[in-house]
Amino acid sequence: MKFNLLSKLKNQTVNHAGAKAFTLSPEMELYTAVVTWSLNDSFYEKNETRMDRLRKLIYECKPEFVGKLAVYARTKMYLRSAPLVLVTELAKLHSGDNLVARVTDGVIGRADEITELLACYELLNKRTGTKKLNRLSKQLQKGLSTAFNRFDEYQFGKYNRDGVIKLRDALFLVHPKAKDELQQVLFNKIVNGDLQTPYTWETELSALGQMNFDSDEAKAIAFRAKWEELIDSGKLGYMALLRNLRNIQEAGVSYLHFQKVCARLANADEVAKAKQFPFRYLAAYRELIAAGTEAPVRSLTKKLSSLLSGNKGYTGELLEALEKAVQASAVNIKGFDHETRVLLACDVSGSMQTPVSAKSKILLYDVGLMLAMLLQNRCKNVEVGMFGDSWKTIAVPRNNILGNVQEFYRREGEVGYSTNGYLVIKDILSRKVQMDKVFMFTDAQLWNSHANSALDIQTLWLRYKAEVSPNARLYLFDLKGYGQAPLQILRNDVYLVAGWSDKVFEVLAAIENGGSALDAINNIEI
């Protein structure tokens, strides 16, 4: 008993709210910190603080796990910057085999990530000023060389941008060996600055924007024609399409082209290949709604104003296409049948009202709601609600994912801004409601703001298991990775999942089959 008590006390800590919490293993803490990191300050933690915490954790984990986590974060969680940090740090501490080379190749998904990784390596190794990147890690160099061999002229040309480290600099630093004569010609073009300018929506619109037009009306007509050309060309990527819906709408493209846009948005194969964060669809959805409420431009001529106002009458079709796209993204999520009773609880507290990144309008709050509604869509017997100062269930239809998120967003403030997640369990305990699965989408900084109560979620969960539903499971979806959990993980059927991608539900499926979040990472091949 004494040793068990000492073990529990050692595992216990306090969170950023000062409430009782539990520490995670170094591997679990590193996983949660990496897949919820956008390299920006968060509500409770500065970016530099998280960087220092990551470095410490990397040294406490096995190198192979760090490498697999880097590839997992890039290929499954769709993150770009955090994996580069992991590779850079891994190259500092590990040598003797080709692990760093394999990981480096595994995290380079786009041609510009070659230069991004070198810039990260330069920054984190303090090779700025007069210090050059002339002592590049040999294994990192080998991995980058392999990556160089995977891209063609279009891919290099698309991402041949000015930066601290240019593509030409990278070629001289890495010294990749061309796999054939044709690739050597390509490398020579990079050196000589002769890469062909690719046909992309950015280059085409940029060129058009530099032209002189006789009138604003002529300019508007030219931009409408260009957007129609881009739509017909098939060169407009899915993500670019998603981000430019409002521009396309305001350009006033023909209804035929508008239908092409809607059809492509809703195409299940396109959705699967695009690998977008679920909240990207929400951002596009909100942009369209905002555009529909804005007043028309009054300073222009009536004819030009009509041209620039575009096709706002078609907004409903676009919103419907976005909903179909999100439905398609949810189709492979393994939900639960009519016999499995599911409760989804969304944290809408003050700390969740922070952007996922410096330039984003999407909040952690939105990420949690999107993930919850995706899962709700795949469950038959499900209740959903939100918690802050209080806890409230809200009835919403299953097949209206984006609309449901907006409904919760509209009701923001109804439950207050504290983090009383314990009220979720207190409610089903007091009402003796049997739930099989309880999901909480949160930054995991739960506490009890009511000074006259000593209740906490750990104690209430143990009571709920003992008194109401012995086989119930609790899943914490950690959306910010601060390093603690409000309950003891992997005990009493409590599990932890982290990340912003819909791929978190693959981890959930693994857990249902007896695995854990770390199994999903350890199964990655590098």
Q: Tens of pLDDT along 414-429?
A: 999 999 999 999 999 9
Pairing relationship of beta strands 473-478 and 12-14 according to DSSP bridges: unpaired
- For 388-399, what is the mean pLDDT? 94
- For 123-145, what is the mean pLDDT? 80
Q: How confident is the model at residue 6 (pLDDT cuts 50, 70, 90)?
A: very low
Residue identified by tokens 């037009």 is: 213
In this predicted model, which residue has the larger pLDDT, 226 or 41? 226
In this structure, is the dihedral angle defined by the CA atoms of residues 482, 485, 491 and 496, taken in order, positive or negative?
Answer: negative
Query: Mutual orientation of helices 181-192 and 167-174 as an angle, nearest 10°?
Result: 130
Residue 301 has pLDDT above 70, yes or no: no
Which pLDDT does position 420 carry in this prediction? 94
Q: Give the C-alpha separation, 209 to 156, whole Å.
A: 23
Which pLDDT does position 298 carry in this prediction? 40
In this predicted model, which residue has the larger pLDDT, 516 or 435? 435
Interval 153-191: pLDDT, tens: 999 999 988 888 899 999 999 999 999 999 999 999 999
Residue 221's alpha-carbon distances to 203, 251, 261, in angstroms, are 18, 8, 19
As a dihedral over the C-alpha atoms of residue 248, residue 254, residue 255, residue 259, rounded to 10 degrees, the angle is: -50
- For 55-77, what is the mean pLDDT? 95
Interval 97-111: pLDDT, tens: 999 999 999 999 999
Residue identified by tokens 């990749």 is: 176
Residue 54 has pLDDT above 80, yes or no: yes
- For 453-458, what is the mean pLDDT? 84
Interval 322-362: pLDDT, tens: 999 999 999 989 989 999 999 999 999 999 998 888 788 89
Which pLDDT does position 219 carry in this prediction? 92
> Domain 333-522: what homologous superfamily?
von Willebrand factor, type A domain (3.40.50.410)
Interval 201-242: pLDDT, tens: 999 999 998 999 988 899 999 999 999 999 999 889 999 999
Q: Give the C-alpha separation, 271 to 238, whole Å.
A: 8
Q: How confident is the model at residue 433 (pLDDT cuts 50, 70, 90)?
A: very high
Task: Tell me which H or E stretch contains 241.
Answer: helix 238-243
Most confidently predicted of 34-38, 51-55, 106-110, 302-306: 106-110
Q: Give the C-alpha separation, 79 to 57, whole Å.
A: 19
Which pLDDT does position 478 carry in this prediction? 94
Residue 113 has pLDDT above 60, yes or no: yes
Which pLDDT does position 18 carry in this prediction? 74
Which pLDDT does position 483 carry in this prediction? 85
Which pLDDT does position 128 carry in this prediction? 63
Q: How confident is the model at residue 7 (pLDDT cuts 50, 70, 90)?
A: very low
Which pLDDT does position 407 carry in this prediction? 93
- For 71-99, what is the mean pLDDT? 94
Q: Give the C-alpha separation, 198 to 168, whole Å.
A: 17
Which pLDDT does position 514 carry in this prediction? 87
Which pLDDT does position 8 carry in this prediction? 46
Percent of the chain at pLDDT exceeding 70: 91
Q: How confident is the model at residue 44 (pLDDT cuts 50, 70, 90)?
A: low
Query: Across all residues in the chain, what is the average pLDDT?
Result: 89
Q: Give the C-alpha separation, 335 to 327, whole Å.
A: 13
Residue 294 has pLDDT above 70, yes or no: no
Which pLDDT does position 4 carry in this prediction? 40
Backbone φ/ψ region at 59: left (φ over 0), alpha (ψ -120 to 50), beta? alpha
Residue 342's alpha-carbon distances to 270, 346, 367, 379, 393, in angstroms, are 31, 13, 19, 8, 13
Whether 103 contacts 70, CB under 8 Å: yes
Which pLDDT does position 300 carry in this prediction? 39
Residue 303 has pLDDT above 50, yes or no: no
Q: Give the C-alpha separation, 495 to 497, whole Å.
A: 7
**Cα end-to-end span (Å), the chain:** 43
Amino acid at the residue 335: G
What's the pTM? Answer: 0.88
- For 385-398, what is the mean pLDDT? 95
